[in-house]
Amino acid sequence: MRIIGHFIDGKRVDGISSRTGDVFNPNTGEVQAKVAMGTPEELDNAVKGAAAAQIEWAKTNPQKRSRLMFAFKEKVEVHMNELAELLSSEHGKVLADSRGDVMRGIDVIEFACGIPHGQKGEHTHGAGPEIDVYSMRRPLGVVAGITPFNFPAMIPMWMFGMSIATGNACILKPSEKDPSVPMRLAELFVEAGGPVGLLQCVNGDKEIVDSICDHPMIKAVSFVGSSSIAQYVYACATASGKRAQCMGGAKNHGIIMPDANMDQAAKDILGAAYGSAGERCMALPVVVPVGEGTAEKFLESLIPGLEAIKVGISTDPDADYGPVVTRAHKKSIEAGIDKAVEEGATVLRDGRGFTLQGYENGFFIGPTLLDDVTPDMDTYHEEIFGPVLQIVRADTFEQAVALPSEHQYGNGVAIFTQNGRAAREFADRVEVGMVGINVPIPVPVSYHSFGGWKRSAFGDANQYGMEGLRFYTKVKTVTQRWPEGETRDSAFIIPRF
């Protein structure tokens, strides 16, 4: 069976531990590979190699760093289909979603190509008598990125693209569920001319995460995953004196105002709730129709589209979404549906027990729609992270603002309306980090930044954009004066003209 090791000092290497994890084919339910669980010793070797490479890389001028980002971007574009197929084979996304995963990563690499402008410092001439002050943004050194299973191309590129462009070296710890795409990206980085050791990929589980948080040479940690682990990583990393940006879970709401274009809202929410089998932290798993009769009008538009959703294998070009990532995750999603029913939710469409002919052992779940969900239900408060849409009815606009504002998560929210004043007030008042107005998945473009509030994010720095640039750099400020007069060493006298 294929064994996935690590990518250290420019090449794939075998793991030294006997511990491995299963990498499934979600379409068939079969184990297709084993991934090595790294050890603290392997991490230390990777960090030392990265530190050695970073010394010279930090001296490299920003134009050359930019050119490397351009070259890497071109490599990824050339290998787009290969990466998408590899991603789908381990994650289960349909190929169109996998290509989108890669493209959103490329967007951040494109932003990193502009690093000569972004990393400029500031200058004040004549801050005092013959005194000038200037600042520079210097790299931190070796940093680490710990990435989740649901975006194995995009999120690694969020992290190593910005960190390397700013002059750092990066240790990447991918999800053990689908590690092959990050490994391939590391290879393409070297093929594009990246210095050996600058991007290292160490696979593993909690043991490697803890080692990253504890390692004295790692200066910053970026994490995306569940909120409980995000909080844990943030606490461990900061206790070790590191910078940390740790993005957690979400329960994003879609507010449907009575004046919304119901057909468009239904179409948007179908994609946002069920696309990629709901395995997205910016998915939209809660819809909030506001006012009497709004839910019924919305459902009239939603149900026909819901019934037309096709679940298929990840290589089926006609499939809207594929299987979820593992058997354990499938069971977790179905348990969430069970719990919602126990709590009193009404099942309008039930995806439990869904099977696909010829792929009966695959990790498939049909689209599920739950009505009469209330804010006191545990399944409203917790992530289900699957193809499950919950309807929570609100009587008033005030209730619609309060629901996402008072929720434990604050990643994203969307409002569907034709009333500009209502949309503006909602965007201003709602306690959520990313807001969409008639946009169901409000993920910011690469030259802004990504980040939620409350238990959706720990730390005070967002991902990518200028926020990412600031996270991976530290400011050095120089105050200088050159007084007139001779020095003791005439060799240093500057002639006057």
CATH number at 212 reads 3.40.605.10
Query: The domain spanning residue 409 has which CATH number?
Result: 3.40.309.10
> Same structural domain for residues 184 and 51?
yes
**Confidence category of residue 495, pLDDT binned at 50, 70, 90:** low
* Beta strand spans in 354-491 (E): 368-371, 388-391, 409-410, 412-416, 434-437, 453-454, 457-458, 473-481
Residue 393 belongs to a domain: yes
Write out the catalytic residue numbers.
Answer: 281
**pLDDT tens digits, one per residue of 79-129:** 999 999 999 999 999 999 999 999 999 999 999 999 999 999 999 999 999
Q: pTM of the entire structure? A: 0.94
**Residue 225 is assigned to a structural domain of this protein:** yes
Confidence of residue 492 (pLDDT cuts 50, 70, 90): low
93, 101 in Cβ contact below 8 A?
Answer: yes
Q: Are residues 182 and 87 in the same domain?
A: yes
Residues 51 and 97 in one domain: yes
> Does residue 70 lie in a domain region?
yes
DSSP three-state, residue 344? coil
* 446 falls within a domain: no
In this structure, are 469 and 397 located in the same domain?
no
Q: Does residue 175 lie within any of the structural domains? A: yes
443 part of a folded domain: no
Buried b (16+ CB within 10 A) or exposed e, 149-163: bbbbbbbbbbbbbbb
Output the pLDDT for position 1.
Answer: 86
Number of structural domains the chain divides into: 2
Based on the domain organization, do 158 and 171 belong to the same domain? yes
Q: How far apart are CA 55 and CA 50, in angstroms?
A: 9
Q: Which residues contact 490 (CB under 8 A, 6 or more apart)?
A: none
Which pLDDT value is given to residue 484?
A: 82
Q: What pLDDT is attached to residue 493? A: 55
Residues 261 and 240 in one domain: no
Residue 442 lies in a domain: no
Task: For residue 411, give its domain range.
Answer: 253-437
- Are 274 and 227 in a shared domain? no
> Is residue 312 one of the residues assigned to a domain?
yes
**Residue 319: pLDDT above 60?**
yes
- Do 331 and 461 sit in the same domain of this protein? no
Mark whether 84 and 172 lie in a shared domain.
Answer: yes
Kindly state whether residues 122 and 152 are assigned to the same domain: yes
| 286 in the same domain as 139 | no
CA angle, 239 as apex, 237 and 240 as ends, to 5°?
65
Q: Are residues 259 and 205 in the same domain?
A: no
